A and B are shown apart, each in its own frame.
Chain A
Amino acid sequence: MSEVTRLKPAPQVLGSLLQFRYLIRELAFTDFKLKYQGSVLGYAWSLAKPLFLFAVLYVVFTRFIRIGGTVPHYAVYLLLGIVLWSYFADSTSVAMNSIVERGDLIRKVWFPRIVIPIAASVTSILTLLLNLLVIFVFILVSGVGFRLSDLLFVPLLLELYVLSLGSSLLLAALFVKFRDFRHIWELGLQMLFYASPIIYPLSFIPASVRPVLALNPIGQIVEDARRALIDPNTMSSGEIVHWPLLLIPYLIPLVLLAVGYWYFESAAARFAEEL
Chain B
Amino acid sequence: MSAARRADDTVVLVEGVTKVFQVPTERRTRLKDHVINLFRSPGRRRFEALKDIDFTVGRGEFFSIIGHNGSGKSTLMKILAGIYQPTRGRVKISGQLSPFIELGVGFNPELTARDNIFLNGAILGLDRGQVTAVFDDILRFSELEDFVDQKLKNFSSGMLVRLAFSIAIRAHAEILLIDEVLAVGDANFQQKCFDVFLRMKADGRTIVFVSHDLGAVRQFSDRVMVLNHGVSHGIFNPSEAIAIHNRLSEEHSNRELERAAAEEAQEPQVDEVDERRPSLHGVQMLVRGHSTHVVHRGDDVTIRVAVHNPERVPVNIGVAVARTDGLYCFGTNTFLADVRPSSHLWIQADLKLTQLPLQRGTYFLTVGVFGETESSIYQMKGQAFDFQVRQADDDGYQGLVYLTHDWALRRGSGASGDAANDLADAAG
A17 CB-CB contact with B under 8 Å: no
Contact A30 to B83, CB < 8 A, known contacts A19-B125, A178-B34, A179-B29: no
Which residues of B (82-99) have their CB < 8 Å from a CB of A? 82-93, 97, 99
Shortest Cβ distance from A2 into B: residue:
B90
Which residues of A (8-50) have their CB < 8 Å from a CB of B? 19-20, 22-23, 25-27, 30, 33-34, 37
Select the stretch in A68-76, A106-114, A133-141, A245-253 that faces chain B.
A106-114
Q: CB-CB < 8 A to B101: which residues of A?
A: 108-109
Q: How far is the CB of B324 from chain A (nearest CB, A)?
A: 22
- In the assembled complex, the Cα of A261 lies from the Cα of B219 at a distance in Å of 47
> Are the CB atoms of A23 and B123 closer together than 8 Å?
yes
> Are the CB atoms of B29 and A178 closer together than 8 Å?
yes
B111 CB-CB contact with A under 8 Å: yes
A192 CB-CB contact with B under 8 Å: no
- In the assembled complex, the Cα of A1 lies from the Cα of B78 at a distance in Å of 13
Q: How far is the CB of A26 from chain B (nearest CB, A)?
A: 4
Interface size in chain A (residues, C-beta < 8 A): 33
Q: CB-CB < 8 A to A177: which residues of B?
A: 29
B46 CB-CB contact with A under 8 Å: no
A55 CB-CB contact with B under 8 Å: no
Q: CB-CB < 8 A to A239: which residues of B?
A: none
Q: CB-CB < 8 A to B90: which residues of A?
A: 2-3
A162 CB-CB contact with B under 8 Å: no
- In the assembled complex, the Cα of A106 lies from the Cα of B82 at a distance in Å of 11
Determine the interface band of chain B, counting residues with CB < 8 A from chain A.
Answer: 35 or more
Contact A111 to B32, CB < 8 A, known contacts A5-B85, A30-B115, A273-B21: no
Q: How far is the CB of A44 from chain B (nearest CB, A)?
A: 20
Q: CB-CB < 8 A to B122: which residues of A?
A: 22-23, 25-27
Choice from A26, A178, A270 contacting B31 with Cβ under 8 Å: A178
A272 CB-CB contact with B under 8 Å: yes
Q: How far is the CB of A263 from chain B (nearest CB, A)?
A: 16
Q: CB-CB < 8 A to A108: which residues of B?
A: 83, 100-102, 105
> Are the CB atoms of B29 and A109 closer together than 8 Å?
no
- In the assembled complex, the Cα of A34 lies from the Cα of B109 at a distance in Å of 11
A269 CB-CB contact with B under 8 Å: yes
B30 CB-CB contact with A under 8 Å: yes
- In the assembled complex, the Cα of A106 lies from the Cα of B106 at a distance in Å of 9
Contact A270 to B85, CB < 8 A, known contacts A22-B127, A105-B105, A179-B29: yes
Known: A30-B115, A111-B125. 19 other contacts (CB 8 A): A3-B86, A3-B89, A23-B122, A25-B122, A26-B122, A30-B111, A33-B111, A104-B106, A108-B100, A108-B102, A110-B97, A110-B99, A111-B123, A178-B34, A179-B30, A180-B32, A184-B31, A269-B85, A273-B84
15 A-B pairs whose Cβ atoms sit less than 8 Å apart in the complex: A2-B90, A19-B125, A22-B125, A26-B118, A26-B119, A30-B108, A109-B81, A110-B82, A111-B125, A178-B29, A179-B30, A272-B78, A272-B83, A272-B84, A273-B21
Taking beta carbons and an 8 Å cutoff, which residues of B are in contact with A? 21, 29-32, 34, 78, 81-93, 97, 99-102, 105-106, 108, 110-111, 115, 118-119, 122-123, 125-128
Task: Please give me the 3 A-B residue pairs with the lowest Cβ-Cβ distance, nearest first.
Answer: A26-B122, A180-B31, A110-B82
